Structure 1
Amino acid sequence: MATAEGRRRVPHGGTPHLPRYDAAPNRDRGGCGPGQQHTARSGVLFFDRAQVRHHCRAAQAVRRRSSAIHVLGRLQIDGSSIPHARGIGSSPAAATLAIHGIVPARRARDRIVSEQLDAEVIVVGGGPAGAATAWALAREGVDVLVLDRAMFPRDKICAEYLSPQASRVLSDMRVLDEIEATNPAHLAGMRIRAPNGHVANGEFAANHGFHGFRNKGLAIQRTILDEIVLRGARTAGARVEESMCVTDLARNGSARVSGVSVLGADGQRRTLRARYVVGADGLRSVVGRRLGLVRTSRIWPRRIALVAHYRKVKGVTDMGEMHVDYDGYFGIVDVGDGKMNVAVVVPMSRAKEIGDDKAEFLERWIGSRPHLAERFVGAERITPVRATGPFATSSRRAWSPGAALVGDAADFFDPFTGEGIYAALRGGELLAPYLVEALGSSAKDEGRILSGYDRARKREFGGKWKLERIVGMAIAYPYFLNNAAKVLSQRKDMADLLVGVAGDFIPASVVLSPRFLFNLFISPAFRN
């Protein structure tokens, strides 16, 4: 029988421990492998169902009964043999409840009722960061509600590139096969062209001794990716409400966040309450701004991006491309189905010049570069040109009492290295266990627990943050980038290492060593 202490993964002696492989999204996966599958013992959890404010969906619908028996695994139970088995029917078939995922135990349920909460955790934003966070929380039995202002599928301004390691998270979420079924593009590596014309090619599969989850990255439109990943969170047990615009944070008597204020599609304003609010709402995060944690750098070059989709651009291969010039840079990548993601990133100082005619500026910028212009002869732009930026945002810390930030809401330096989607997915994985621990602890432990999330982010992403700023310096001062491109065009081993770091499977420390940086940026000056 479950005790009131049972919460995360039902950790008590009377019932089996359920790892994520035994949750419903993974049952057909075949468990943990030969000899490691977890067989459910005859443990049955009884929960009295009280009246709860929020409305459950999908697999949670079984909990709407006034009394429910939660059966671990696929046990057949004779309802007549179970005390208090009201409302489930008398036949053995009716008495068998298929539980999808790990369900919250009594203490979590009682807390939602007693505190009049709409969820234990509200996640603001249903993109990769929000979906990954919700998925990781839901599989631990947390009652999580995702809010997004859009209706899915929806588009998103993005380079639409996923590193090889991003596929590892998507595989864990059990959505990678569905993504592959949409025929995304597969990227073998990156090609970089410097202002002086030197070209460097780096590949993910190389002889450097490091191996990613896969040998290739992915490129896929966000209209496809985000809907699939959010569906993965739903399958894990998260609830999702679309067309819900979060306008502010709600607070209790202290400064602690206690929920969000939302504007629904019906025009009605209301407040939703939760133990924690997660800001996964992107570069212009409402949650981050209301918390006062996010700032935009005024020191580093501030840039804006213009992005559109094209067809029939010549010479596009399985290599993502970045072409750096003295007044900005250009990127192009195949995203599948004959479509190319095209982006031009320029200093913020040119915003007035861009004005309202973004398409004219984008095409003029491309047309003024002969090596690019010839490839766009006969090309067809198939989506409007949209703008985003300025970039170079960061948070002094990624949490506040009752709230946390993840993905672009926590930091986004520059799109050049293309780390955004992986950082969003991995960030959700990192945050979830700290929130689970905080939910089961007292308020006095909150600071200690969530400070651990900050430290985990620095361990995971700190090296990449340093590399991003070095690359940003090289773009701002083309002398250094020209030196680097000259070296990389001759030293493919170094180019492969850099691309592997950008692919998130080689530690950044490998390319941050003084010797590597000297050989990359400084030594070419002595050879001229």
Structure 2
Amino acid sequence: MTATQHDADVIVVGAGPGGSTTAYHLARHGLRVLLLEKTEFPREKVCGDGLTPRAVKQLVKMGIDTSPEAGWLHNRGLRVIGGGVRLELDWPDLASFPNYGLVRTRLDFDDLLARQAVGAGVDLRTNVNVLAPVLDDAGRAVGVTAESGPDKAPVTFHAPLIVAADGVSGRFPLAMGLAKREDRPIGVAVRRYYRSPLRHDDNYLESWLELRSKENPDKLLPGYGWIFGMGDGRVNVGLGVLNSSSAFGKTNYRRLLTDWLANTPEDWGMTDEANAEGPILGAALPMGFNRVPHYTRGVLLVGDSGGMVNPFNGEGIAYAMESGELAAEVAVQALARSAGPERERALAFYPTELKSRYGGYYRLGGIFVKLIGRPEIMKMATRHGMPHPLLMRFVLKLLANLTDPRGGDAMDRVINAMTRVAPAV
């Protein structure tokens, strides 16, 4: 196939945070980018809506105004509740990351990122449902087949490189023969919005390490919970359960959420169904590189499609955006080379660099998931760890993956050493 037959230099499948970030950086480097999204914007996504400083850094790189005047709710850090202790931990002051987090609904957030990509020159096509790769004689992806519009008209697009950013379902990687690895951690999260004038403008993200029902407050419910103020009169409330828990796959997660919320103060507004906005929605959290390889036969995997959710805290947006930026950098260098072995050598850098950046950290995260899946260990950790603010500041840095890679304080050096010596996943 000649270059003149290509519809773009790169096709990006999926316009979530990972796909839009990838497309933006590709376009900023002068490449022709086709961004294909199966839905219309704005559209709903199941998420906690909270962004740590890692994600904020990526937004700043994309030139997005993160001020309160632009519709963002800022937060100072994380409030942790467990073991009878309520602890507020500010985000660390680092050279590498800003010292504030943000909250914004995915309904607004994904739309904003897609529009930023379009502003950089990306060709965004919505209502285009990508079905499968177009393969050449060597089995390399050279395009995609799709259904377009309400009439599902068949269309085909060609490009020398494809980025799969189609989320946890990973339909495109599956069509390339890339199945999920069952030996990696995965979680399930459910969330709902509630009107809560008392809690909506909280300047901390709130994490509950222990969940208890009103009927039996002495018994710990499985999983961990969150309450994130949205700044618009509402809160995002949810919980997650990891596959290391004996309750995983055997629990009514929606009932679990309402059982926990029934135990919260009435003036928060979460015990009254009349304050709820919309149904309880759920989604899977693919963690710790649970789909590999991240590059094969003309296709790079970005974000949830490649199982890049942080096993320590369930954060996915920051890693989707970071992997998207990296994929764009690699693609730009690769396409500047001749097709064949030289280009493949450049593309092979993508999985190598991902493994270098996150492999050891995700290995530690996998161990963490196995430990906290045992209620007796979680109970002991909260009881003995929560009363010690210095230890908890270390835990915050570890769980949020917020350290300065060079220099930094003693905590940074310990965490960085741990991730270096841990064998990469």
Cα distance in structure 2, aligned partners of 1:419 and 1:345:
12
The correspondence of residues 508-527 of structure 1 with structure 2, limited to 5 A, is 510-511=414-415
Cα distance in structure 1, aligned partners of 2:317 and 2:347:
23
477-486 or 336-345: bigger deviation: 477-486
Cα distance in structure 2, aligned partners of 1:373 and 1:389:
30
- Matching residue within 368, 383, 387 for 2:278: 383
229-238 or 370-379: bigger deviation: 370-379
Helix, strand or coil: the match of 1:159? coil
Query: What is the aligned partner in structure 2 of residue 406 from structure 1?
Result: 302
- Asked which structure has the greater CA Rg, the reply is 1
Query: What is the aligned partner in structure 1 of residue 167 from structure 2?
Result: 282
Matched, 1:150 2:45: no
Deviations 1:375-399 (A, max 9, x none): 4345711122111126446123201
Confirm or deny: 8 A CA contact 1:401 1:446 kept in the other structure.
no
Cα distance in structure 1, aligned partners of 2:265 and 2:142:
52
Query: 1:466, CA displacement in angstroms?
Result: 3.1
Helix, strand or coil: the match of 1:176? coil
Query: What is the aligned partner in structure 1 of residue 214 from structure 2?
Result: none
Matched, 1:421 2:320: no
Give ranges in structure 1 of 5+ residues lacking alignment. Answer: 1-109, 515-528
RMSD (Å), alpha carbons: 2.8
Deviations 1:32-65 (A, max 9, x none): xxxxxxxxxxxxxxxxxxxxxxxxxxxxxxxxxx
Deviations 1:318-351 (A, max 9, x none): 2212223441221111122122111122367565
Confirm or deny: 8 A CA contact 1:475 1:481 kept in the other structure.
yes
Deviations 1:78-135 (A, max 9, x none): xxxxxxxxxxxxxxxxxxxxxxxxxxxxxxxx9631xx11111000011111111111
Query: What is the aligned partner in structure 1 of residue 158 from structure 2?
Result: 273
Confirm or deny: 8 A CA contact 1:183 1:337 kept in the other structure.
no
Q: 1:189 to 1:287 in 2, by over 3 A?
A: same
Query: What is the aligned partner in structure 2 of residue 29 from structure 1?
Result: none
The correspondence of residues 341-490 of structure 1 with structure 2, limited to 5 A, is 341-346=236-241, 351=249, 354=252, 360-367=255-262, 370-371=263-264, 375=268, 376-378=270-272, 380-389=275-284, 391-392=286-287, 394-413=290-309, 417-441=313-337, 442-490=339-387
Query: 1:429, CA displacement in angstroms?
Result: 1.1
Query: 1:374, CA displacement in angstroms?
Result: 7.3
Matched, 1:264 2:148: yes
Confirm or deny: 8 A CA contact 1:165 1:212 kept in the other structure.
no
135-144 or 309-318: bigger deviation: 309-318
Q: 1:480 to 1:199 in 2, by over 3 A?
A: farther
Query: What is the aligned partner in structure 2 of residue 309 from structure 1?
Result: 193
Query: What is the aligned partner in structure 1 of residue 139 from structure 2?
Result: 255
Cα distance in structure 1, aligned partners of 2:251 and 2:397:
37
Confirm or deny: 8 A CA contact 1:332 1:340 kept in the other structure.
yes
Confirm or deny: 8 A CA contact 1:247 1:262 kept in the other structure.
yes
137-146 or 387-396: bigger deviation: 387-396
Q: 1:419 to 1:164 in 2, by over 3 A?
A: same
Matched, 1:193 2:81: yes
Deviations 1:150-183 (A, max 9, x none): 1111111111121113222212211224x74343
Query: 1:217, CA displacement in angstroms?
Result: 0.4
The correspondence of residues 188-337 of structure 1 with structure 2, limited to 5 A, is 188-194=76-82, 196-205=83-92, 210-265=94-149, 266-298=151-183, 300=185, 302-312=186-196, 314=198, 317-325=202-210, 326=220, 327-337=222-232
Cα distance in structure 1, aligned partners of 2:104 and 2:147:
31
Cα distance in structure 1, aligned partners of 2:416 and 2:60:
30
Cα distance in structure 2, aligned partners of 1:342 and 1:462:
30
Helix, strand or coil: the match of 2:11? strand
Deviations 1:411-457 (A, max 9, x none): 14567614311111111111112111221223112332222111211
Cα distance in structure 2, aligned partners of 1:299 and 1:394:
5
Cα distance in structure 2, aligned partners of 1:288 and 1:153:
25
Query: What is the aligned partner in structure 1 of residue 409 from structure 2?
Result: none
Helix, strand or coil: the match of 1:336? coil
Q: 1:444 to 1:128 in 2, by over 3 A?
A: same
The amino acid that maps onto 2:73 is A
Confirm or deny: 8 A CA contact 2:310 2:362 kept in the other structure.
no
Query: 1:487, CA displacement in angstroms?
Result: 4.5
Cα distance in structure 2, aligned partners of 1:486 and 1:226:
38
Cα distance in structure 2, aligned partners of 1:192 and 1:470:
21
Confirm or deny: 8 A CA contact 1:120 1:142 kept in the other structure.
yes
Query: What is the aligned partner in structure 2 of residue 184 from structure 1?
Result: 72
Confirm or deny: 8 A CA contact 2:34 2:123 kept in the other structure.
yes
Cα distance in structure 1, aligned partners of 2:361 and 2:413:
9
Give ranges in structure 2 of 5+ residues lacking alignment. Answer: 211-219, 406-411, 419-425
The correspondence of residues 37-52 of structure 1 with structure 2, limited to 5 A, is none
Query: What is the aligned partner in structure 2 of residue 127 from structure 1?
Result: 16
Helix, strand or coil: the match of 1:181? helix
Cα distance in structure 1, aligned partners of 2:152 and 2:297:
30
Q: Calculate the TM-score normalised by the size of structure 1.
A: 0.68
Query: 1:312, CA displacement in angstroms?
Result: 1.1
Confirm or deny: 8 A CA contact 1:412 1:420 kept in the other structure.
yes
Cα distance in structure 2, aligned partners of 1:359 and 1:261:
37
Helix, strand or coil: the match of 2:290? strand
Q: Calculate the TM-score normalised by the size of structure 2.
A: 0.83
Helix, strand or coil: the match of 2:372? helix
